[in-house]
Chain A
Amino acid sequence: MIARDESLSSFVEAFDATAGDGPLGDFDISVKANICTREGRTECCSKLLQGYRSPFDATVVEKLTSAGAAIVGKNNMDEFAMGSSGERSVHGPCRNPWDTSRVTGGSSGGSAAAVAAGLVRASLGSDTGGSVRQPAALCGVVGLKPTYGRVSRYGLVAYASSLDQIGPIARSCEDVAVVLGAIAGHDPNDATSSTRGVEDYTARLRESVSGKKIGVPSFARGQGVSAEVARVFDASVEAFRSRGAEIVDVELPSLEYAVPAYYLVATAEASSNLARFDGIRYGRRAELDKGEGLFELYEKSRSEGFGAEVKLRIILGTFALSAGYADKLYERALKVRRLIKDDHDRVFASGIDAILTPTAPSPAFKIGEKTDDPVAMYLEDIFTVSANLAGLPAVSLPAGLAGVDGVTLPVGVQLTGRAWDEAGILSIGAELERCELMGDAKPAVWALG
């Protein structure tokens, strides 16, 4: 299985694992390298955590194993989940199975590519601002970010704790629903996990979309959306309409400010969360020169261990929280976060069942193309960050194909739902699957025949 991974770098480690008894006995599942497994290493694709072995399994891993799934390895990712392309890993870039010279998206790039290429039936990623959904879109698979609190974060190496959720990636809404059902639920080890009961997320997959209201914000066709993505998006709107859904224009004016607000909140939390990596209790410790002390140990261990993007985000977060500027940066971002949540609450209170947008503004781009243009990279997250800021569930679905420079690439659309309505958005998503907008297209790297 993993042999076919050589051209993709979607795995950083493979395990010998066999399935057990249970509802997931037919599932081989890989997990992102920031999810703790007792087996193997949990290095977050960072030099700083080289060789780190977790003494425990993350709650999601425990739950999958006890449901019978085989955990077959760890997936490549952007270091500490900081990136939107899958390129910023100490192991080198993740490669897109549709065209290996292109990015997978990120940060759960390896998790999405492994599923897209048929190397595994499903995988887990983590989603802080789109890190499950955007790579799912760029690789042509289904990726879901659950409602904040639906899935335990215990054993997920934290990036931004008020935004992070673990989510499943698979080739169908049904498989995503099955994996979600296995990993959802309260965990005493994560006080932010909800005590609300877990639904059967497969129960409504055959429901018709007829009569449902799908909201389309003007923002969905806004500046920066490529012509290919706009075409696929419009076709998906028409597909829903032809199946009887009511398409409603909705306004979410605060979304325009979501990306800067997101980066301020996420980096502020990251600057605090990543303070634990100091070379003392775990991870890589720098060699000290004579006369150097504790502070040099912190500084050297961190400076040698973190990559450039991680350093930048820690510094931006430190700035956002620093005395004299916190009210102008962090607090202002939190107020915008409130407006974003209020906008969504208002739209859903008006009877809208889901909000439809593209998942990403363009199909997969070439490796290296955007690394020197950080603002262009941030705009990759323009449609995805709001669901994290508002805590809402959102799923990316393959919705069609685009021809770019002679290659065929998948394009995804995103459905955002009410809090706790994962079953609702998966049901609407399953209707899009039945429209077969992807035809029989398969990626260039494809392991299943």
Chain B
Amino acid sequence: MPGMVERFGRAAAPGLAQGPVHRIADRTMLVRRAGSPDEERTALETAIATASEDIAALMAAADEDGAAMLEFQLALLEDDALRAPALTAITAGTDAASAWRDALNAQIDDYRASDDAYFAARASDLQDLSDRVLGHLAGGGAEAAPAPGSILLGRDLTPSRFLALDWSKGGAIALSEGSSSSHVAMLARSRGVPMVVGLSDIPDAAFSEAIVDGESGRLVLDPLPEQRAALAALQSDAALRLGAEAAVLREPAHIASGERVAVLINVAEPEELAALDPAICDGIGLVRTEFLFSSPAGLPDEETQYRAYRTILEWAGDKPVTIRTVDAGGDKPVAGLTIDGESNPFLGMRGVRLSLERPAIFRLQLRALARAAEHGNLKIMLPMVTVPSEIDRAAALLGAAIEELEAAGIPCRRPPLGIMVEVPAVAVVPELFGAAAFFSIGSNDLTQYTTAAARDIAAVAELGDAGHPAVIALIRNVVEGAAKLGIDVSLCGDMGGDPQLLPALMSAGLRAVSVAPPLVGRVKLALARISGEGA
């Protein structure tokens, strides 16, 4: 036993958890020693055979659509034509892993280059096959699934791996790198999974138990008996606070003056809503639609999107639901949609820029949204708007989609079209964006762009402070601009869920926030203590 180790990092998602330690394997660190061409050929054939068995096992557990996609992957993997270039390279002296990676990359590039979105999206199937075989080649094969309730310990965690894990039995995440503004941290907050990032010097020793305190950013490995007792006390404090939050959860939110504040929720996946009572919120302030675009089955068709949007609208009843068009790019790559190898993806083709560049894909989303609008109080929101003409171009595409649907006799409705305010170019001169039906301040990106501190770079995370007076001044400017234009304004970034930052937002005149569902009670309690003066 290495003894107790305590480390402090940065809080990324609140909550307390204790459980068995599970180390996340770091694929970039895996190395294997190459052998003779014969040994390499055998190693590759064995890895391909094992990967085929994996896929066959996954097929047995998959639904019909999933099984069809896996059958396709399996057929590719079993086709000699797929491995032939790799075997040729091995004969010429290349090691098995490089030979396989190069052969698959050539195919992946070929698919990506396709103008047809459906063919381009197949690049993700080949990437999956490439990774799966490389994983087996590197030894250890596919990583064992963590026991339910485990504390995941590692360098970083990808959103797709987070989504593949079962969090229903608790658990937590402790990372040596990572960022509290990453996509995976957002997912952790919305699922109520405690998470700490930026923990330095985690020893490599084998630890069996860990405590993660997502409030204070603390990780304790192999805790002492008194620390376990302290955890129990903290948990009972947390239980008291949860009781106080539960008491106000279904009440309308007010600041101390009695003035009403709208508290809405952010939703990343429709499945989250099943466990939520619509009475806790004033609506949905942000639906992230990226979940639809990250399926291994490729880009979603119109019907899949329509059904997902309709489910969300029906959950909300008469309450407003703001659905954001796909915000791919930045730290959210989507195979077949986003552009690889940009030198600075956060300043590149992302959000509405990408949607306008790929009108065929955008058109399907707009058609699905216009059809879903028949079933509730829908608003459409464009991410990453920088100039007013982007709103005009998106509005024209929405108009064209509605004309097509009407001509075909398909029921649909034109929802209001608003924008995210997350680029400083908009926040400085909001009055130029009167074509928007509403503003929603995306404080995460607004902070990163205002402070020039990337949210996925741990070393500059301290600079990316949403409480910076410049960020607050921009928010005040956007609230005032919206009032002059006579349109609604809300905020859907992480700031809205932070009790430390809510007083500044209320002083800036903001009266609507959209937060992760587990934070609704905490936000309502915090608002009740805020005077809101200075607006």
Question: Does B associate with A?
Answer: no
